[in-house]
């Protein structure tokens, strides 16, 4: 059944008129987006909602279940026509690596973001609203230099003698400029490159799909169709649940351990998530320190301790290397923690993000070096593929093939428009579908005393069979009439609203597990950890 969650418009959670305006703007933007998908032959379940985590307007947004959802139930299907892809991919041509596919999808993303006001799609507006240059490969020169100083590397040179991630600038200079002959001096083009590298899945930019947050410990959705093998022009891009979801639960994706992420298993961990997607992931975290041949996984426990699992037996040589790196990080903090980002020529976003990563890697090194695990030298006899343990890297030409997935930075709260389109477009039926939500929205605003809005309540029923049918039998179509009629309806119904979002080998190793108290333990916090926390506060 079509519904509109009034919780999105519970204005008591907002602090002032500015928050109210932003809430209404978000409502308009995301409602237009969802209706655009549905009006184009796609499907978005009425059982999911988009809202701030913990209903905190300052927190990131996520996708939540507003009703119980069955295991394997379809959450969304995005039509082929709405997916941003390269012209070659659209024509059925497939290229490898950075080539026409990558260059083409960047060009198409740029077109989507710079379309005229009459032609820009809701997804184009969403991409246009994303923070500028938020991944480290696209920071300012000063920001990148300080981050590389943190890792112990050299900017524009990379190298294996530094802490991860390395080669942070290759996404722009080493790939786009050289292969695509791209203009790295144009800010909008650079932003399009970053968004494709940070938000694309395989070779596609997919609306709705990139609104699910990442958490390997709570991963509960997956691809319905494998984009490597499925004819997406026929099936669309589907997302389903992996287990039963209770109402109120957040729906999580995995950007590196998803059901089609085999090439990521061995090497793509917390540093790589930060490099490609711009955030430090929650526990569990995986750290691969190539310079020390140490590979660990950290998992938070209910008692505040952190469980450390060595995925490769540690060596004295490796632990000594990491101990020296930990001391170097302490010196780094003592040197820079009392400075400001402005005096260093950085942006505030870069400064805060850098210290967040500093905190994470400092904690990881502390747990690793304080281990009482027996030390052996076996790892140094394994060769360059010492870190491969679980799967394959699908690596060619000495370069990892990174199948970029998605980061969710922005979504919204629970909003639903009309059900997926019926067999024929009907203006009266669309009006009947949307009118109840207009009434609910205005009623909530009235009760909040935040805005002076009035409306007559109208109640009709949607066609619930259409939702079920769309999730199981999908034939993508594009109805501009439906899209523009929906947008016109919002304008008419909301006068005065603000418009605005190599390796392919295996090594048998012995795993051991222990629990070590540290900064996250109930007692015994470290002074430096507290300092880093104060810096980021």
pTM metric for this prediction: 0.70
The residue behind tokens 């505030």 is: 348
pLDDT value of residue 55? 72
Q: What is the DSSP string of 350-418?
A: HHHHHHHHHHHHHHHHHHHHT--PPP-SGGGGS-TTTT--SS----BTTB-------------S----S
Tell me the CB-side half-sphere exposure of residue 159, using CA atoms within 13 A.
11
β-bridge mates for residue 205, sequence order: 84
For 1-71+206-261+403-497, the fitting CATH number among 3.20.20.70, 3.60.21.70, 3.10.20.90, 2.170.270.10 is 2.170.270.10
pLDDT value of residue 458? 28
**73 near 238, Cβ under 8 Å?**
no
Q: What is the DSSP string of 372-388?
A: -PPP-SGGGGS-TTTT-
Spatial distance between the Cα atoms of 199 and 410, rounded to a whole number of angstroms: 12
Burial class (CB in 10 A: 0-12, 13-18, 19+), 59: exposed
Strands (DSSP E) contained in 174-249 are: 213-214, 221-223, 237-241
Length of the chain: 537
Which residues in the chain come in under a pLDDT of 70? 1-27, 29, 89-101, 156-161, 169-174, 228, 230, 259-265, 389-537
The 8-class DSSP code of residue 128 comes to H
pLDDT value of residue 453? 33
pLDDT value of residue 203? 84
β-bridge mates for residue 287, sequence order: 296
CA distances from residue 359 to 177, 377, 526 in whole angstroms, order as listed: 33, 29, 11
pLDDT value of residue 495? 37
Give the other-Cβ count within 10 Å of 386's Cβ.
Answer: 20
Domain locations in the chain as residue ranges: 1-71+206-261+403-497, 84-205, 269-401+511-536
Residue 257, token pair as written in the block:
């351990």
pLDDT value of residue 271? 95
Spatial distance between the Cα atoms of 137 and 140, rounded to a whole number of angstroms: 9
pLDDT value of residue 96? 52
Give the other-Cβ count within 10 Å of 174's Cβ.
Answer: 16
- Each residue's pLDDT tens digit, 294-351: 999 999 998 888 999 999 999 999 999 999 999 999 999 999 999 999 999 999 999 9
Spatial distance between the Cα atoms of 231 and 206, rounded to a whole number of angstroms: 15
Spatial distance between the Cα atoms of 206 and 105, rounded to a whole number of angstroms: 11
Residue 87, token pair as written in the block:
């012209």
């Amino acid at each position: 059944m079509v519904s509109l969650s009034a919780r999105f418009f519970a204005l008591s959670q907002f602090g002032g008129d500015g928050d109210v305006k932003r809430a209404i703007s978000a409502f308009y933007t995301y409602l237009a987006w969802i209706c655009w998908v549905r009006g184009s032959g796609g499907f978005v379940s009425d059982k999911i909602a988009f809202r701030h985590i913990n209903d905190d307007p300052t927190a990131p947004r996520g996708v939540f279940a507003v009703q119980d959802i069955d295991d394997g139930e379809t959450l969304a299907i995005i039509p082929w026509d709405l997916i941003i892809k390269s012209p070659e991919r659209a024509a059925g041509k497939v290229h490898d690596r950075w080539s026409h596919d990558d260059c083409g999808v960047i060009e198409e993303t740029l077109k989507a973001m710079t379309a005229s006001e009459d032609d820009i799609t809701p997804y184009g507006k969403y991409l246009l609203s994303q923070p500028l240059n938020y991944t480290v490969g696209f920071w300012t020169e000063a920001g990148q230099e300080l981050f590389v100083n943190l890792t112990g590397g050299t900017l524009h040179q990379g190298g294996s003698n530094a802490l991860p991630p390395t080669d942070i600038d290759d996404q722009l200079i080493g790939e786009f400029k050289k292969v695509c002959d791209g203009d790295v001096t144009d800010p909008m083009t650079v932003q399009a490159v970053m968004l494709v590298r940070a938000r694309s899945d395989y070779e596609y930019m997919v609306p709705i799909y990139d609104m699910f947050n990442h958490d390997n410990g709570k991963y509960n959705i997956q691809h319905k169709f494998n984009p490597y093998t499925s004819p997406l022009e026929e099936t669309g891009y589907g997302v389903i649940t992996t287990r039963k979801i209770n109402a109120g639960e957040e729906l999580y994706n995995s950007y590196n351990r998803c059901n089609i992420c085999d090439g990521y298993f061995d090497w793509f961990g917390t540093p790589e998530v930060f490099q490609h997607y711009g955030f430090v992931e929650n526990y569990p975290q995986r750290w691969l320190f190539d310079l020390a041949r140490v590979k660990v996984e950290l998992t938070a426990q209910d008692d505040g301790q952190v469980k450390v699992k060595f995925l490769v037996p540690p060596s004295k040589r490796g632990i000594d290397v990491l101990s020296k790196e930990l001391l170097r990080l302490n010196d780094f903090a003592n040197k820079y923690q009392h400075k400001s980002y402005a005096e260093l020529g950085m942006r505030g976003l870069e400064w805060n993000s850098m210290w967040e990563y500093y905190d994470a890697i400092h904690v990881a090194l502390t747990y690793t070096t304080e281990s009482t695990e027996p030390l052996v030298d076996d790892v140094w006899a394994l060769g360059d593929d010492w870190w491969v343990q679980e799967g394959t890297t699908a690596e060619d030409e000495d370069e990892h093939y990174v199948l970029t997935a998605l980061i969710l930075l922005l979504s919204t709260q629970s909003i639903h428009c009309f059900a997926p389109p019926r067999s024929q477009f009907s203006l009266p039926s669309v009006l009947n579908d949307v009118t109840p939500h207009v009434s609910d929205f205005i009623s909530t605003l009235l009760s909040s005393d935040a805005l002076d809005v009035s409306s007559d309540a109208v109640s009709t029923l949607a066609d619930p069979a259409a939702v079920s049918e769309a999730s199981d039998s999908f034939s993508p179509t594009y109805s501009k009439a439906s899209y523009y009629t929906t947008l016109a309806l919002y304008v008419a119904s909301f006068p005065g609203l603000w418009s605005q979002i190599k390796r392919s080998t295996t090594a048998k190793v012995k795993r051991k597990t222990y629990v070590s108290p540290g900064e996250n333990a109930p007692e015994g916090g470290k002074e430096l950890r507290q300092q880093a926390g104060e810096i980021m506060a």
